[in-house]
Amino acid sequence: MAIPTWAVEALMRGVGSVVDKVPPERIDQLRQKANQLLDDLPQTAARGVETVFRGAKAGKQMLQRWSQRHLALVTPVINAAGCLSDHRLHGVGLSEPLVELASGAIHSPLLRGEAAAERLQRRLNRCVGDHDWGILVATSLDAACLAIGLTRHTRPLYFHRAQSSRLPSGTAIPDAFVPRDSLPASELAIHEIGSRDGITPNDASNLLPGAILIAVDNGETEPVWFSAGGRVADEDQLKVVLMTACGGIGGVRGEPLPAWLGSIHPSPRLVADHLGRTDGVEHADLVITSGDGLLGGPPCGLIIGSRELIENIAASAAWRALEADLVTRAMITLVLESGLHANGPEHPVALAVTTSAENLRHRAERISVRLAADDSIASCQLTDAPARLTPSGTWGIASRQLRIRHHHKTATQWAAELSAGVPAVLAQVIDESLSIDLRWVRPSDDSALVAALLGYASATGDESPVPDPDPADPQS
């Protein structure tokens, strides 16, 4: 509303009385000060508006993060922990053809008839390459181990202490074959032999007749402990090798590894390296491995071995509950048929393995520059420790890491917050610093990784994201 006349007159008189008391030499100074205040007024107002918008944006991001965390059925993950088979993950990324196959199979009803199942099984067996071998697909690696344990009847199982480890699910290997809560202690018949400091030829002596010998391939020079002495095998014994990383099936003995696996040290073996060996060293009767990981398939367990043993397992009453569904079996069939022996397979793990260490170094440098510009980051250093395939195996591959410290958070607290965010970022805590390994991080996820480290809900272009490498630039 308008200011009353009497108020205007009172204001004028007040201003006039003030002016009358000001010395003439101060009039110019007051005029300059007034002009300065008028000039600064828009800037002050702009800063206030900017503060309001910044607060509103932070509130929006907090609401976004909360809603994504509580409503998302699947949380996207950036694996920066440096281990491909991290225990917090279920499987690895799949290629586009596999996703399309699964999507098409889900949209279209699948025939569960006997003829369709036999046709799919024949294709699977052809992937093995030897007419004396067969293959089964279980719902998981644990299920594949349990399938053998449930068909052992009363045969005792033997494990070597030097190969004691856990499956990616966290289950101890002996418990995967025979769950300790399923039978009385007197009927478990699980034996651990040898010592943790190594394997000797005498460790495999004096075993009970008909024993099942479980060996673990963790990348050691001689993974099959029951062949350490090259002794004559007991025909009644069943020898099983559990491969924690599989380079391929390899139906032809002596078939070379895919070229891209040469970057991993030691090179992962083929299934054929453990089956049907004729060089005087004892071979395995069955091999268990995972369908994901380096194979690039969906999470599942594979049992490969002599056709007779495979058919006995498939005929057991328990197998119907342990067998993978038709979609998973079709996907793993496509993986095995797609030719992993080509130089450039199109699944995410192969693409990550073929990324050069120089490429990782350039990406790490760009990310470190972006992080160092933020006030919340206390320090950021680059390291070159190798990345790993499995937590307990010896396989390694050249990589680059960022060791970061936060001004206000401990590394443990920071890592916990990142793993609970959206996307979830998996990292390690080393020497009170947060370690971000780039080997298993896709270049397209670099911007989202920086945004998560700096506490943003997402990197959508207005947070100065890290530019993605140019595929045509060998230095990117």
pLDDT at residue 460, as a whole number: 39
Task: Delimit the CATH 3.90.1150.180 region(s) of the chain.
Answer: 79-90+351-453
pLDDT at residue 471, as a whole number: 44
pLDDT at residue 320, as a whole number: 92
**Each residue's pLDDT tens digit in the chain (476 positions)?**
566 776 667 666 766 666 566 666 666 676 677 666 556 656 665 566 566 656 666 666 556 665 555 556 677 899 999 999 988 888 888 888 888 888 888 888 777 778 888 888 899 988 887 778 999 999 999 999 999 998 988 888 999 998 888 898 889 898 899 876 655 555 567 888 999 888 888 888 888 888 999 999 999 877 788 876 545 456 688 999 999 999 888 754 455 667 788 899 998 988 888 886 555 456 889 999 999 999 989 999 999 999 999 999 999 999 999 999 989 999 999 888 876 544 445 678 888 998 999 999 999 999 999 999 999 999 999 999 999 999 888 999 999 999 999 999 999 999 999 998 888 999 999 999 999 999 999 999 999 999 999 987 544 334 444 444 444 444 44
Question: How many Å apart are CA 343 and CA 79, to the nearest integer?
Answer: 25
This prediction has a pTM of 0.78
Looking at the structure, give the CATH architecture of the domain made up of residues 96-346. 3-Layer(aba) Sandwich (3.40)
Structural fold of domain 79-90+351-453 = Aspartate Aminotransferase, domain 1 (3.90.1150)
- Does residue 224 contact residue 349 with C-beta atoms inside 8 Å? no
pLDDT at residue 417, as a whole number: 93
- Does residue 397 contact residue 263 with C-beta atoms inside 8 Å? yes
Task: Delimit the CATH 3.40.640.10 region(s) of the chain.
Answer: 96-346
